[in-house]
Amino acid sequence: MVTVEQILEYLERRIAEHHLAGDRLALKRDQDVAGFLMAAVRDLGDKHLALRFQVLAARAADMREQLEKNAE
């Protein structure tokens, strides 16, 4: 069975890989996935875990924005 920690680690790794590859669309998808998971765990009452997914969503958004600024 997959654990939440493994999902967090996977998402962190994918965000880093997509940033290094300059893939803005993939970073947007990463942000959306992290946001979806954040909402799910928040609705289940786990505020701490929701915050961890929120941080990942923000990281993906920040990296995407960084790539967009560099592309200008």
Grade residue 14 by pLDDT with cuts at 50, 70 and 90. very high
- Whether the CB-CB separation of 56 and 8 falls below 8 Å is answered with yes
pLDDT tens digit sequence for 22-45: 999 999 999 999 999 999 999 999
Compute how many other C-beta atoms are within 10 angstroms of the C-beta atom of residue 57.
Answer: 22
Structure tokens, 4: 């939440």
The pair phi, psi for residue 38, each rounded to 5°, is -60, -45
pLDDT tens digit sequence for 38-69: 999 999 999 999 999 999 999 999 999 999 99
Residue 11 has pLDDT above 80, yes or no: yes
Grade residue 72 by pLDDT with cuts at 50, 70 and 90. confident
Q: What is the pTM of this model?
A: 0.92
The angle formed by the CA atoms of residues 1, 42 and 64, to the nearest 5 degrees, is 85
